[in-house]
């Protein structure tokens, strides 16, 4: 083993040691990772997300993955000769579309399980239908019936808790049971948010196709690292937050008000975005926290 090599290894050891206060403070904490968008379309990114979550599990956290799969659904819808239709951003979901959506999402679900298993970490793929985990009412978009699309009515955490307590990583497909016991599509962001709130999760992380929240959307250097819910409310009022980011931020604010300590909006297009956000002082995206900005011990320490 050459001298040069040795130095490299020492740097690595120091990196592990630097992670020590983070690992200590995150120990036994629940984190919900909403996984979707670009992060799902690239094999390398995909592997990195799964590895990040595996690591969170191994160092003692309780991770839950909630995933999407919209583009894959559209692919299969057209494969059987149908045309995708959207109203107000929501997919119009007739019975056949629902059938396809369920098939596709469950397959994505088991694919993620398979990747986790290949790392030697036990994962269990479920949908919101299993054990009545996600129960929904039919959603109306501006009063319009768009088929089998649901609004979360309540979350039954018994199955997810059982899995977490026995060291399985729950991977959840955003399909729900209606109160009429039919299958419903549910927005993956909403599902992740509902589960994080029901679990009183420490963290909820959205892997998105954006770097985070900007003070001035036209200025890339105005990315905000930490945002209190009050500041978020202000940004919404001032019109700084709009478009697809608006419902996401509303979800974040609701989650924090319901007891989730921090919601992270992270750029899923970056390798190891979860580790970069969680294990560095400043992070790479935007963390939304409550007004009192409760800090982790390692943050308090770092301020001294």
Interacting residues of 250 by C-beta distance below 8 A, sequence separation 6+: 236
In whole angstroms, what is the distance from residue 212 CA to residue 224 CA?
A: 7
3-state helix, strand, coil split of the chain in percent (to 5) is: 45, 25, 30
Residue 181 binds a second copy, judged by CB under 8 A: yes
In whole angstroms, what is the distance from residue 218 CA to residue 84 CA?
A: 32
- What stretch of H or E contains 98? helix 95-118
Among 218, 282, 303, 304, binds a second copy (CB under 8 A): 282
Locate tokens 């808790």: which residue? 161
Among 1, 237, 239, 303, binds a second copy (CB under 8 A): 1
At its nearest, how many Å lie between a second copy and the CB of residue 100? 8
Among 168, 206, 207, 285, binds a second copy (CB under 8 A): 168
Among 64, 65, 66, 177, binds a second copy (CB under 8 A): 177
Among 2, 3, 44, 79, binds a second copy (CB under 8 A): 79
Is the CB of 125 or the CB of 150 nearer to a second copy? 125
Cα dihedral: 103, 107, 108, 113 (round 10): 140
At its nearest, how many Å lie between a second copy and the CB of residue 274? 9
Residue 168 DSSP class: P
At its nearest, how many Å lie between a second copy and the CB of residue 253? 25
Is the CB of 215 or the CB of 272 nearer to a second copy? 272
Q: Which 121-150 positions form the footprint of a second copy (CB under 8 A)?
A: 121-127, 129-132
Residue 16: Cβ-neighbour burial (10 angstroms; 0-12, 13-18, 19+): exposed
Q: Which 83-102 positions form the footprint of a second copy (CB under 8 A)?
A: 99, 102
Task: List, in sequence order, every residue forming a beta bridge with 228; answer none if it has no partner.
Answer: 289
In whole angstroms, what is the distance from residue 50 CA to residue 32 CA?
A: 13
Among 51, 139, 203, 248, binds a second copy (CB under 8 A): 51
Is the CB of 132 or the CB of 259 nearer to a second copy? 132
At its nearest, how many Å lie between a second copy and the CB of residue 121? 7
- Of 137-145, 176-184, 191-199, 243-251, the window that binds a second copy (rule: CB under 8 A) is 176-184
């Amino acid at each position: 083993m050459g001298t040069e090599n040795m130095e490299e290894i020492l740097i690595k050891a120091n990196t592990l040691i630097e992670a020590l206060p983070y690992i200590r403070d995150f120990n036994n904490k629940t984190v919900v990772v909403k996984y979707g968008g670009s992060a799902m379309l690239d094999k390398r990114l995909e592997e990195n997300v799964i590895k990040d979550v595996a690591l969170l599990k191994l160092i003692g956290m309780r991770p839950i993955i909630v995933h999407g799969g919209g583009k894959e659904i559209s692919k299969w819808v057209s494969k059987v000769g149908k045309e995708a239709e959207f109203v107000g951003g929501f997919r119009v979901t007739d019975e056949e579309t629902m059938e396809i959506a369920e098939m596709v999402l469950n397959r994505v679900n088991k694919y993620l399980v398979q990747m986790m298993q290949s790392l030697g970490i036990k994962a269990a793929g479920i949908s919101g239908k299993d054990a009545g985990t996600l129960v929904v009412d039919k959603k109306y978009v501006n009063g319009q019936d768009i088929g089998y699309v649901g609004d979360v009515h309540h979350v039954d955490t018994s199955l997810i808790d059982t899995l977490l307590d026995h060291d399985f990583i729950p991977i959840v497909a955003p399909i729900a049971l209606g109160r009429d016991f039919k299958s419903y599509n549910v927005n993956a962001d909403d599902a992740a948010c509902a589960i994080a709130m029901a679990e009183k999760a420490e963290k909820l992380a959205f892997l998105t196709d954006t770097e985070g929240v900007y003070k001035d959307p036209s200025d890339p250097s105005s990315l905000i690292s930490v945002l209190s819910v009050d500041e978020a409310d202000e940004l919404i009022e001032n019109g700084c937050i709009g478009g697809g980011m608006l419902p996401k931020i509303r979800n974040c604010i609701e989650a924090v008000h319901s007891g989730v300590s921090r919601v992270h909006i992270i750029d899923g297009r970056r390798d190891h975005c979860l580790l970069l956000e969680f294990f560095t002082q400043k992070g790479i995206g935007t963390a939304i926290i409550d007004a009192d900005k409760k800090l982790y011990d390692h943050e308090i320490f770092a301020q001294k």
